[in-house]
C-alpha cells in the first residue's frame, strides 16, 4: 500500500481547505498545478484563487525537493532537518505598483521583516501586473496542519483587506 509523504499530506490539507472555501463561495479558484520535476525529483503544488469581492489574485505554492523526500524515506539521512515542504505566497493585481495603503496591508498582515519580493511585470501583449511574493524561511511539517489551514484563511483575509485598501 502507498504511504503518502509529508508533501502529499500537506497538499491534501492545503487543497481541501481552499476547495472548501471555493464551495462556500468565499473564493473562486482560477488555476491549479500539481507538478513533478522528474529531472530533479522536486514536487510543486500551486493553487491560485481570487476573493469573491475583488480581482486581486493569491497564489499558494507548496514545494518539496529531493532532500526533503530523502529525509523522510531515509531517516538516517539527516537528524537536523525534518520532512515536509516549503510554502510561499504571491499576491497579484493588474497595474504597475501597489498603493501605499496596499503596502501597509502587507506589512500589517505578514510583518515588515518577512522575506518578500515586490515585482512589476510589463508586456506589450498583456496589461501590466504587479506582484508581492512572500517566502517563509522554515519547513512546514505534518504537525503544522492547522498552520496551513490558518494560512489559507489569513491569505483570504489579506485579499479582502487589499480590495478595501484599493477602493478607499
Determine the 3-state secondary structure of 138 from DSSP: coil
d(CA 165, CA 168): 5
pTM higher than the cut 0.85: yes
Rounded to whole angstroms, the maximal C-alpha distance in the chain is 55
pLDDT in tens, the chain (168 residues): 467 889 999 999 999 999 999 999 999 999 999 999 999 989 999 999 998 778 899 999 999 998 888 888 886 765 677 889 999 999 999 998 999 999 999 989 998 777 788 999 998 999 999 999 999 888 998 899 899 999 999 999 999 999 888 776
d(CA 146, CA 140): 11
Nearest CA to 26 among 152, 155, 156, 150?
A: 156
Alpha carbons within 13 A on the beta-carbon side of 15? 14
d(CA 96, CA 81): 40
Amino acid at each position: 500500500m502507498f504511504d503518502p509523504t509529508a508533501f502529499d499530506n500537506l497538499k491534501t490539507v492545503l487543497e481541501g481547505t481552499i476547495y472548501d472555501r471555493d464551495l462556500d463561495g468565499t473564493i473562486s479558484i482560477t488555476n491549479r498545478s500539481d507538478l513533478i520535476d522528474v529531472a530533479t525529483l522536486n514536487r510543486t503544488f500551486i493553487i491560485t484563487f481570487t476573493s469573491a469581492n475583488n480581482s486581486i489574485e493569491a497564489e499558494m505554492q507548496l514545494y518539496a525537493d529531493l532532500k526533503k523526500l530523502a529525509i523522510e524515506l531515509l531517516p538516517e539521512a539527516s537528524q537536523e532537518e525534518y520532512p515536509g515542504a516549503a510554502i510561499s505566497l504571491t499576491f497579484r493585481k493588474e497595474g504597475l505598483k501597489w498603493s501605499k495603503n496596499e503596502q501597509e496591508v502587507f506589512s500589517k498582515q505578514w510583518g515588515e521583516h518577512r522575506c518578500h519580493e515586490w515585482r512589476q511585470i510589463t508586456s506589450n501583449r498583456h496589461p501590466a501586473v504587479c506582484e508581492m511574493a512572500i517566502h517563509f524561511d522554515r519547513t512546514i511539517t505534518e504537525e503544522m496542519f492547522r498552520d496551513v489551514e490558518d494560512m489559507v484563511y489569513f491569505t483570504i483575509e489579506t485579499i479582502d483587506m487589499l480590495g478595501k485598501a484599493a477602493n478607499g
